[in-house]
Amino acid sequence: MLVKGKDEMIKDFEMAGYDYYSSRRDMEMVSSIVDALKSILEEDKKQEQPLFLKISDNLIMNIARKVVQEKKKTFLIGITGESASGKTVFVDNTIKACIKNKTEGIYTVIRCDDYYKDTSKELKEAGSYENLFKTGFSFDTPEAIDLNLMKSHLVSLKEGLTIKSPRYNFVTCESNPDGDEKKPAKIILTEGLYVLNEGIRDIMDVKVYVFTPLEVIKDRWYKRAEQRGKTGAAADLQFADVNKTAQEYIRPAYQISDAVINGMVSQEYIQQITDKIFNALKDLYYGK
């Protein structure tokens, strides 16, 4: 885990040249945040299954600076990983930590899965998922998702606007544009296969990759595929495509991520550690 020492980060902070940080109070606030986050990470490292597998050496300082400098602005966190790696579980349990505060406007979630393009016509014409996959059709490339619409929605939320995300049916492949209303919030969590792809990752404040061993992913994926109406040869065909396309479109995001998360940790531990992080930041970030 690559994390700079406190003294080194404070030195970087003092040399940053931002007029905003000229006051001693701001420097003390940043120092307090750095100390709190470092303490949480040190505790996490001692666990048999730590949540954080890697942290970039400038992430803690960047978070501290943003908390101090931009208390009232949106914080956009992009979370990616392979199919069935645990992205949704991580986000859902992070939310459970957030809502303990019971403050309105804390978070909004945008899920890449909601932005799949409508392919119900293609499925009906093929007659089955197996026949559809035999034509070469893939649900596991960026082209299957309306990333431009998703990015525009994320930008709108960051600008304080309310959006309506589509709703996708994984059984029928229908996309309903009249989906769920999403309101701007102080924290926006966006998760999905391609949220850190080139062309969209530039708007993220923090980039997170969820890593899970392939054998675990495979087991999880087949169980979920059955719930979505894909079994037998159809499931085999799609999983082969999932593994192939992950190599090209998803795994490279590991290298550019600010943090790599362990997809093997329990839901209870995710809630526990994210609750600690949230509590360490909320007094400053939410102006309390």
81-127 tens-digit pLDDT: 999 999 999 999 888 876 665 556 788 999 999 999 999 999 999 99
Q: What is the mean pLDDT of the chain?
A: 87
User: Could you tell me the pLDDT band of residue 9, with boundaries at 50, 70 and 90?
Assistant: very low
Sorting pLDDT into bands at 50, 70 and 90, what band is 18? very low
In whole angstroms, how large is the CA radius of gyration of the chain?
20
pLDDT value at residue 15:
46
- CA–CA distance, 76 with 92 (Å, rounded to integer): 16
Question: Which residues are within 8 A (CB) of 158 and not within 5 positions of it... i.e. 6 or more apart?
Answer: 73, 74, 76, 184, 188, 203
| Joined tokens for residue 129 | 């998922």
* Cα atoms found within 13 Å of the Cα of residue 95, Cβ hemisphere only: 17
Q: Is the pLDDT of residue 280 over 70?
A: yes
pLDDT digits (tens, 9 = 90+) for 237-263: 999 999 999 999 999 999 999 999 999
pLDDT digits (tens, 9 = 90+) for 174-202: 999 999 999 999 889 999 999 999 999 99
User: CB of 201 within 8 A of CB of 256?
Assistant: yes
pLDDT tier at 10, thresholds 50, 70, 90: very low
Q: Which one has a higher pLDDT value, 107 or 26?
A: 107
pLDDT band of residue 130 (cuts 50, 70, 90) is: very high
pLDDT of residue 6: 46
Residues 71, 186 contacting (CB under 8 angstroms): no
Separation CA 113–CA 152 (nearest Å): 16
Please give, one letter per residue, the 3-state secondary structure of the chain: CCCCCHHHHHHHHHCCCCHHHHCHHHHHHHHHHHHHHHHHHHHHHCCCCCCEEEECCCHHHHHHHHHHHCCCCCEEEEEEECCCCCHHHHHHHHHHHHHHHCCCCCEEEEEHHHHECCCHHHHHHHCCHHHHHHCCCCCCCHHHECHHHHHHHHHHHHCCCCEEEEEECCCCCCEEEEEEEECCCCEEEEECCCCCCCCCHHHCCEEEEEECCHHHHHHHHHHHHHHCCCCHHHHHHHHHHHHHHHHHHCCCHHHHCCEEEECCCCHHHHHHHHHHHHHHHHHHHCCC
What domains appear along the chain, each with residue ranges and CATH number?
Answer: 70-257 (3.40.50.300)
Centroid of chain to Cα 2: 20
